[in-house]
Amino acid sequence: MTRFYFDHNATTPLSARALAEMTSCLRDDFGNPSSIHQDGQAAKQRLETARRQVAAAVGADPDEVIFTSGATEANNMALFGLRPRHVITSTIEHPAVGQVCAELERRGAQVTYVPVSGAGVVDPDDVRRALRPETDLISVMAVNNELGTIQPIEELAQLGVPVHSDSVQALGKISMTPIALRSFSAHKIYGPKGVGALVMRGGVTLESTYFGGRHERGRRPGTENLSGAVGFGAAATELGADHAPMMALRDRLEQGIVDRVPQSFVNAGTGPRVGNTTNIRFDGVEGEAMLIALDLKGFAVSSGAACSSGKVEPSHVLMALGLSKDQARSSIRFSVGRTNDAAQVDALVEAVATVAARLRKLSPVYVGV
């Protein structure tokens, strides 16, 4: 069966250029970037090229880019490394920040969780009001993974406190305000899994969690994931141009579904959003059942975050918008990307309409339009 992939916020396929660069790196440049000899030097060159490519994409200097195993590690380095007494974060963070904050609390730090509007956006005034003399960090994501809503990082950066932003979903989609700390992941931008970056600027210093080497200017020990970094760098050179066509596809999908399926509503559709994500609620439809039905028809979509399988609670992000549990459970996230075209979008709209009608016919709770 032909598969149509509409879950690009979960991960993306590897770009041809990233694959080619990684293959040549794995084949030709096996050296250890820390070695003094020429094999090491060649490897080091490739690592630094990758660093420059990532730096250019995120609007930073190369020496501000630390390669990590991904955004989760970068978040942990940032949040634990600052040893904050008080952190302000949002109620819609990815668990890769939310669970780090919960652990900070367990270790004695204070954490304030600011709410979001019905449009899925943090109000900078709420953050300002939550400031305390001992507030050492504000950590708010740049773009929400479930909704695509853009958060006011620029305003938060003016509050006089270091800002960290999990910017995984923002890269290639919006411009980057310079802030103290940002986390990135390669596999969300058509790069490989298992590599990401923490971008540090403005003289922030972090306490180390791991020890064992002076790699990455002493900020992250361990022999570098060279081919991963090279793939990340290559993928980072290809960003930006596809955002406008992506938005056209997303709008076609969103409009098509809302027009075709009765009682379907876009969650947080009024806020500022990136161009590839839409989160749609189908009243009277079990999201889990719709996901399975669409998957068996060849369409990959998502209900809530991918990590939530087996979890009882419905998406905390949708709950934070003020949705009921049933509404949250009736919601599906569609995220378009480079693999999609208009014909695929139209086929998906058709499949969603068919599945929603079938599931509603079965549902004892749905009482019609």
Partner 1 sequence: MAVLEVQNSVGERAVTGTEAPIAVAMSGGVDSSVVAGLLKRQGHAVVGLTMQLWNQQRLPDLASDKASGRCCSLDDVYDARAVAGHLGIPYYLVNFEDRFEQSVVKPFVDSYLRGETPIPCTLCNNFVKFDQFLDMADAAGADKIATGHYARLWFDDEKQRWQMGRSADSTKDQTYFLWGLTQPQLARAMFPLGGMIKTEVRELALALGLPVAEKPDSQEICFVPNGDYAAFIDAYFKEQGLAPATTEGEIVSTSGERLGTHGGTHRYTVGQRRGLGIAAKEPLYVISTNPMTQQVIVGRPDDLLRQEFTVRDVNWVSMAEPDVPVRAEVRIRNKHAPAPATVSALPGGRATVRFDEAQRAVTPGQSAVFYGGELVLGGGWIE
Contacts of 218 (CB under 8 A, 6+ apart): none
Q: How far apart are CA 241 and CA 244, in angstroms?
A: 7
Q: Structure tokens of 323?
A: 């949705």
Q: Of 83 and 325, which has the nearer Cβ to partner 1?
A: 325
**Considering only residues 122, 293, 318, 328, which one is a binding residue for partner 1 as defined by CB under 8 A?**
293
From 25-33, 184-192, 211-219, 353-361, give the range in contact with partner 1 by CB under 8 A: 353-361
Q: How many residues bind partner 1 (CB under 8 A)?
A: 16
Q: Of 193 and 358, which has the nearer Cβ to partner 1?
A: 358
Binding status of residue 358 toward partner 1 by CB under 8 A: yes
Q: How far apart are CA 280 and CA 23, in angstroms?
A: 39
Binding status of residue 7 toward partner 1 by CB under 8 A: no
Q: Rg for the chain (alpha carbons), in Å?
A: 21
Helix axes 342-362, 287-296, angle to 10 degrees: 130
Q: Of 75 and 315, which has the nearer Cβ to partner 1?
A: 315
Q: Are 90 and 127 in contact (CB under 8 A)?
A: no
**Considering only residues 310, 343, 368, 369, which one is a binding residue for partner 1 as defined by CB under 8 A?**
310
Q: Of 215 and 297, which has the nearer Cβ to partner 1?
A: 297
Strand partners for 277: 335
Q: How far apart are CA 271 and CA 239, in angstroms?
A: 23
Tell which positions 27-56 bind partner 1, by CB under 8 A.
Answer: none
Find the shortest distance in angstroms from Cβ 3 to partner 1. 12
Q: Structure tokens of 317?
A: 């992000």
Residue 320 CA from chain centroid, whole number: 18
Find the shortest distance in angstroms from Cβ 319 to partner 1. 15
Find the shortest distance in angstroms from Cβ 50 to partner 1. 34
Q: Structure tokens of 124?
A: 């900078």
Binding status of residue 138 toward partner 1 by CB under 8 A: no
Strand partners for 28: none
Binding status of residue 224 toward partner 1 by CB under 8 A: no
One-character DSSP codes across 146-208: TT-BBP-HHHHTTSSS-EEEE-TTTTTTS-----SEEEEEGGGGTS-TT-EEEEE-TT-----
Binding status of residue 3 toward partner 1 by CB under 8 A: no
**Considering only residues 20, 102, 248, 296, which one is a binding residue for partner 1 as defined by CB under 8 A?**
296
**Considering only residues 289, 300, 319, 347, which one is a binding residue for partner 1 as defined by CB under 8 A?**
289
Strand partners for 90: 114
Active site residues: 307
**Considering only residues 176, 290, 318, 323, which one is a binding residue for partner 1 as defined by CB under 8 A?**
290
**Considering only residues 131, 288, 300, 319, which one is a binding residue for partner 1 as defined by CB under 8 A?**
288
Find the shortest distance in angstroms from Cβ 349 to partner 1. 19
From 77-85, 122-130, 156-164, 308-316, give the range in contact with partner 1 by CB under 8 A: 308-316
Amino acid present at 97: V
Q: Of 218 and 310, which has the nearer Cβ to partner 1?
A: 310
**Considering only residues 83, 132, 214, 311, which one is a binding residue for partner 1 as defined by CB under 8 A?**
311
Q: How far apart are CA 183 and CA 39, in angstroms?
A: 30
From 43-51, 75-83, 212-220, 305-313, give the range in contact with partner 1 by CB under 8 A: 305-313
Q: Structure tokens of 324?
A: 């009921």
- Tell me the C-alpha to C-alpha distance, in Å, between residue 222 and each of 212, 251, 291, 364: 7, 44, 40, 56
- Tell me the C-alpha to C-alpha distance, in Å, between residue 324 and each of 22, 37, 261, 315, 327: 46, 62, 20, 10, 5
Contacts of 201 (CB under 8 A, 6+ apart): 60, 61, 64, 178, 179, 180, 181
Residue whose token pair is 């403005």: 202
Q: Of 40 and 298, which has the nearer Cβ to partner 1?
A: 298
Site string for partner 1, 178-217 (x = CB under 8 A): ----------------------------------------
Binding status of residue 350 toward partner 1 by CB under 8 A: no
Contacts to partner 1 by CB under 8 A? 286, 288-290, 292-293, 295-296, 309-312, 355, 358-359, 362
